[in-house]
Chains A and B, each alone.
Chain A
Amino acid sequence: MHADAASSAAAVAASGHAGAARAHHFDSPVQQREAATLGMWVFLVTEIMFFGGLFLAYVIYRSTFPHAFAAASHELDIVLGTTNTAVLIASSLTMALAVRSAQLGRRLSVILCLILTMALGAVFLGIKAYEYHHKFVEGLVPGAGFHFPGPEAPHAAMFFCLYFGLTGLHALHMIVGEGVLTVMLVMGAKGRFGPQYHNPIECAGLYWHFVDIVWIFLFPLLYLIGRHG
């Protein structure tokens, strides 16, 4: 926490509840929780703007080169994309259950749900790595080795630039999320979370769900355009 160890320990002692660490500058656990949640949301809003710029670039280039984008999108594996969407949604469910277990002070359940969430996140990253490898072998990575049939190759390269930029940035967020969840796992195993104090895992959950939402938009925009054509 932000407070020094002594005052944190005092807060725990005063509340008489294990895992109820209240920093001295907050009047109550409720106020502390609301401040933490609000701060996390302000951070997530900056993340919305961060990804928003790339989404805007996507909208502009796709509306400029609609046919090249549809053709390039066909090169993506829709089965792997749909599977990864389901995997990420499942990881959001286990994350929500991990936060719920923390709220109830169920230590073993917190540990189990977090391990499941991290495992599902790893499955997502594994499938993503397989897709990247496949694109590299097929010569669909923009650069010297890029091969795309037809006269619209430079515009298809633009699609793949956005594909790797957006999914790469998303994957980076997933990797950061795995690190954050590792910290939560250690805290959970130490029994730091309870009905009054679970702010860290709540904020970690908000981050994880946000990354899920980014993918919810990436999936139709990258994998599903012009599928019927």
Chain B
Amino acid sequence: MKLRVSEAHVVPVGVYIAVFLALLALTAATTAAAFHDLGPLNNVVALGIAVLKATLVVLFFMHVRYGTRLIPLVVAAGLFWLVILIALSLTDYWTRGWLGVPGR
């Protein structure tokens, strides 16, 4: 049987270096931002930068940008379950003080 010859997408070294430098810059930015009092925005900035860094790693280092469409779907499905885990749990914990509970 003749094998279908198709080679994997080879990402240029320059792209990897650019992502690496962006990740270092974002690390410096998140550390610097932590020393400034931005109120509740501190959490937003820290998590926003972490999500941005993770996205860069997933898209380029982990080749999700270059593979089949099925992989982004699996990743999105996984994150969706994580959101369910965290969001639904917090609807409980963060709202317990809102209403008085009879008998307590």
List the interface of chain A (C-beta within 8 A of B).
14-15, 20, 22, 27-30, 33-34, 37-38, 41-42, 44-45, 48-49, 52-53, 55-56, 59-60, 63-64, 78, 82, 85-86, 89-90, 92-93, 95-97, 100, 103-104, 195-196, 198, 202, 205-206, 209-210, 212-213, 216-217, 219-221, 224-225, 227-229
Contact = CB atoms under 8 A, between A and B. Distances in A.
Interface residues of B, number: 55
Given A89-B23, A92-B57, A216-B57, 8 more contacts: A14-B3, A37-B63, A45-B78, A59-B86, A82-B27, A100-B10, A205-B62, A224-B46
Contacts of A45: 74-75, 77-78, 81
Contacts of A89: 20, 23-24, 27
A130 B47 CA distance: 27
B11 A95 contact: no
A60 B57 contact: no
B8 A60 contact: no
Contacts of B89: 56, 60
A14 B1 contact: yes
Given A27-B4, A34-B67, A82-B31, A96 B86 contact: no
Contact of B94 (A27, A63, A206): A63
Contacts of B30: 219-220, 224
* A interface secondary structure, majority: helix
A45 B7 CA distance: 26
Interface string B52-87: 011001101111000110110011011101100110
A196 B5 contact: yes
B74 A15 contact: no
B62 A209 contact: yes
Contact of A209 (B42, B57, B74, B93): B57
B47 A220 contact: yes
A86 to B, nearest CB: 6
Nearest to B36: A228
Contacts of B4: 27-30
Contact of B20 (A55, A93, A104, A196): A93
A37 B57 contact: no
Given A34-B67, A45-B75, A53 B10 contact: no
A92 B77 CA distance: 24
Contact of B86 (A52, A78, A103): A52
A221 B46 CA distance: 8
Nearest to B78: A45
A91 to B, nearest CB: 10
B13 interface: yes
A78 B31 contact: yes
A49 B83 CA distance: 10
Most buried by B among A95, A96, A206, A228: A96
Contact of A52 (B74, B75, B82, B93): B82
Nearest to A218: B50
23 contacts: A14-B1, A14-B3, A28-B6, A29-B4, A41-B78, A49-B85, A56-B86, A93-B20, A100-B11, A195-B8, A196-B5, A206-B62, A209-B62, A216-B53, A216-B57, A219-B50, A220-B30, A220-B47, A224-B31, A225-B43, A228-B35, A228-B36, A228-B38
